[in-house]
Amino acid sequence: MHLLAKGGRAVLPILYCATATESSVHVGTPVMAEPSTSTSGRQPSDATEDKHIAKLTEEQLGRNQELLERLRGKLILAPLTRGGNLPFRRLCADFGAEVTMSEMSFARHLLKGDPLERARLKRSANEACFGFQIATNNIGEGVGAGKMAIEAGASWLDLNCGCPIYEATKRGLGSALLRNPRKLARLVAGIAQGIDLPLTVKVRTGTSSSKINVQQVVSFLQDAGAAAVIVHGRTAEQRYKKPADWSLLTDVAQSHDVPVIGNGDILTYYEAQQRLNDSGCLTHMVGRGALIKPWIFQEVKEGRELNLDASERLGIYRRLVSHMKEHFGDDAKGRRKAFYFLPWHFDFFCRYRYLPEDVFRSSSQERPLIGQRMDIAAADLGEELDSLPLLERTLRCQSPDAHAEIAATLWDSSSDEEARAALEQLADQKLSEWENNDSDREEQVAEG
């Protein structure tokens, strides 16, 4: 049955081939169906109730399918506030990231013209497929932001339903939206119907361990016309202390027809491969793993761990500096802007360790490697602190003082060789002081 939308376009209620219960839906291609039927067996009791079921046009459905084909099997760079600045995303794309996402933008401020929020719309020329993420709980704001995303050349819009920070949740944004799945579905249906861009939704498994409702949320989002659902396998209150629940993620992916993108704890190509193969997800997403090693996209494509020594990594970090100079400006003002980000990145870069599959695969199956405590020298690789090269030891320092000085040195040097010599000279004077500060930092870094 065709319905007529406001603009006179033919619209079709979206439903997926599915049987009557949430737990037994089978995977199939999207089909059109009567609007009063639901994949989860829920029967809307009146006209107001079924506002959570989207009526997407054929064009909208076609665009959703096109996006899914572009995403299938590709490791996606997660939305990362602060970390996902444009120069960093460009660096990831240099290493083969084909799908990237913006930092979260507050739709209300974006629509009011806030320059910081507008800057988040901008993508680098090498970002081939770019998702723009917004925080909102209002259909009009979502539609308005969607229009701006189209003008900026984004490939899709994503609604943040996972942000745990109080600034967002106190305003009913981010993970607060998970509290009422039906209301969330109405919001998503309203935005999905109102924009000429696919809409994905990024969720967590629930707000807390006693309120895990991801199965129900994904069922509602499926009816609401989400092109895909990104699931970060943790609750909002969990932070990063416990491993992401890939077993729950697998259940969710396998019991819904709306494609699921799995997210949580990917650090090596073999963990990425295993998650993707075992879960039935459309594809997977990486956050902290990319912040630690932006070359993870190349590793996943090539199916091997790159063993990059300190000089090679220094060259990569200098490339980030060069992208920052181009983006923010190679002058005092540009430096001020860049230095909100650059030293911060070393909080993650310093966690890099070579993790060859033959040594680490079995322990990665017990606990994700990103959650394992790694000493400065990796005992599993036979490393000893005193025999680590000075530059290697310096780049592994967790001290914020070290990060500030490394960033300044890289910014000020005009070649890799000059940067290396300057850093070694600095380390000769300050390494022991920096290393003494390290222990206080561990907990903070682990929180991401």
Ligand X SMILES: Cc1cc2nc3c(=O)[nH]c(=O)nc-3n(C[C@H](O)[C@H](O)[C@H](O)COP(=O)(O)O)c2cc1C
SS3 state at 224? coil
Residues with Cβ within 8 Å of residue 372, at least 6 apart in sequence: 363
Residues with Cβ within 8 Å of residue 136, at least 6 apart in sequence: 106, 107, 108, 142, 145, 159, 173, 187
| Shortest Å distance, C-beta 175 to ligand X | 10
| Shortest Å distance, C-beta 79 to ligand X | 4
Residue 90 or residue 232: which is nearer to ligand X going by CB?
A: 232
Residue 167 or residue 196: which is nearer to ligand X going by CB?
A: 167
| Shortest Å distance, C-beta 397 to ligand X | 20
The answer to whether residues 74 and 276 touch, using CB atoms and an 8 Å cutoff, is: no
Give, as one character, the DSSP assignment of residue 61: H
Residue 245 or residue 435: which is nearer to ligand X going by CB?
A: 245
Residue tagged active-site, from 129, 161, 163, 350 = 163
Q: Measured at CB, which residue is nearest to ligand X? A: 287
Report the alpha-carbon distance of residue 151 to residue 158 in Å, rounded: 16
Residue 13 or residue 198: which is nearer to ligand X going by CB?
A: 198
Residue 126 carries which side chain, given as an amino acid letter?
Answer: N
Residues with Cβ within 8 Å of residue 384, at least 6 apart in sequence: 377
The region, left, alpha or beta by phi > 0 then psi within -120 to 50, assigned to residue 190 is alpha
Residues with Cβ within 8 Å of residue 240, at least 6 apart in sequence: 234, 288, 371, 446, 447, 448
Binding site for ligand X (CB under 6 A): 78-83, 103-104, 133, 160, 162-163, 202, 232, 263-266, 286-289, 448
Helix (H) and strand (E) counts for the chain?
19, 13
For residue 123, which phi and psi values (nearest 5 degrees)?
-125, 160
| Shortest Å distance, C-beta 84 to ligand X | 7
- 161: annotated active-site residue: no
The DSSP annotation for 358-394 comes to HHHHHHHHHS-GGGS---SS-GGGT--GGGS-HHHHH
Please identify which residue in the block is written with the tokens 């300050």. Answer: 430
Residue 15 or residue 266: which is nearer to ligand X going by CB?
A: 266
| Shortest Å distance, C-beta 427 to ligand X | 27
Residue 331 or residue 447: which is nearer to ligand X going by CB?
A: 447
Kindly list the catalytic residues. Answer: 163
